[in-house]
Amino acid sequence: MQEINLFAIFITGLVTGGLTCLAVQGGLLTSMIAQRESTIASVTNAKGQNAVPILSFLFAKLIAYTFLGFLLGWLGAVVQLSLSIKVFLQFAVVVFMLGTAMNILNVHPIFRYFVIQPPRFLTRLVRRQSKRTDLFAPMFLGAFTVFIPCGTTQAMMALAIATGNPIIGATILFVFILGTSPLFFILGYFASKLGEKLHNQFMQFAAVTLILLAAYNFYGALALTGYSFSDKGPQQNLVASDTPTISINEFGYSPNAITVKANSDVSLRLDNKNGSGCIQAFTIPALGIQKIVPLGSSATVTFRAPNQKGTMPFMCSMGMYRGVINII
């Protein structure tokens, strides 16, 4: 599932999530810790005791968001999205990410509308949980934060839906929330000591990271429209075949270039040896072809090659791994 760029998502969570969510979720956690300290008079080591509710909070939050990602990915799969709708959703994710970044940077008040506000009764419910002092209070609080996601988290949720795959959706939110955990844990202790200047610098870096992730998704969405990033025509002295075979593995498609004759009937065999994630969804945007090839299985795609000579790209459903069909 490297094609989703999990590292970029992790970095986004590491930098952005802990800071943008600190105002609400961090405030709730801090108030709960303060309530426990005032209630449990026998506490002698505040730092050691404070680590327990923070870890409990983060663990429950990680599990809850992973399950949410699974549901969102499943929702995208059940709807059976067409290629055009997938392209639209991926562009929408890009716009949402950019809007969230602009809101973080306070570019214009209009970008605050990219932050979806939860119903007030859910917000009140979560705040009531923060006043509890029992050991499991932080776990309940961490799980309930799914109802008050910060702007960057909402962008990751939109990305999970766009994948149309429950496993990938769960992985996206798992990696993102995991990325938020270290900084969130540290800021749970030192948020009040973080200077305004340092906070603003972190926020700017977080917004830039989100913009880069949006650019990465835009690149994939543009590829799914059939847009070619190269004007080069097919190479010379190519040998055409009407029964080519492409192997799917963890690194991409092999070969990543095949050759067919113009206006010929092609029977393309796809062998998935060890490819997981969206690379299983073989796509030829120009022909509107989508074929899911599960791990360890094979499938055949038949189509008539275009009359016009040139090149025709193929790729995974996210537009990250790609190849080309030379038409001669």
pLDDT tens, residue by residue, 76-97: 777 656 677 777 877 877 887 7
Q: What pLDDT does residue 91 have?
A: 82
Identify the sign of the CA torsion 302, 304, 309, 315: negative
Name residues whose C-beta falls within 8 Å of residue 53's C-beta, 6 or more positions apart in sequence.
29, 32, 33, 36, 135, 137, 138
SS3 state of residue 88: helix
Contact present, 230 and 209 (Cβ < 8 Å): no
Strands (E) across the chain are located at 245-249, 252-254, 257-260, 265-272, 281-284, 289-292, 298-304, 310-315, 322-327
pTM strictly above 0.75: no
- Tokens 């799969």 identify what position? 77
Q: What pLDDT does residue 117 have?
A: 52
Sequence spans of domains, the chain: 2-224, 245-327
Task: Find the angle CA(189)-CA(195)-CA(198) to the nearest 5 degrees.
Answer: 105
Cβ count within 10 A of residue 93? 25
Contact present, 32 and 137 (Cβ < 8 Å): yes
Q: What pLDDT does residue 136 have?
A: 62
Phi-psi region at 226: left, alpha or beta (left = phi > 0; alpha = psi -120 to 50): left
DSSP 8-state class, residue 225: T
Distance CA 93, CA 267 (A): 34
Q: What pLDDT does residue 121 have?
A: 63
Q: What pLDDT does residue 47 have?
A: 45
Q: What pLDDT does residue 36 have?
A: 52
Q: What pLDDT does residue 134 have?
A: 53
Question: Which is nearest to 257 in space by CA: 280, 279, 275, 239?
Answer: 239
Q: What pLDDT does residue 44 have?
A: 42
Distance CA 259, CA 324 (A): 9
Q: What pLDDT does residue 41 have?
A: 40
Residue 301: beta bridge partners?
Answer: 268
Residues of the chain with pLDDT under 70: 1-5, 16-50, 79-82, 114-137, 147-152, 154-155, 187-200, 202-203, 206, 209, 226-237, 276-278
Contact present, 66 and 160 (Cβ < 8 Å): no
Please state which architecture CATH assigns to domain 245-327.
Sandwich (2.60)
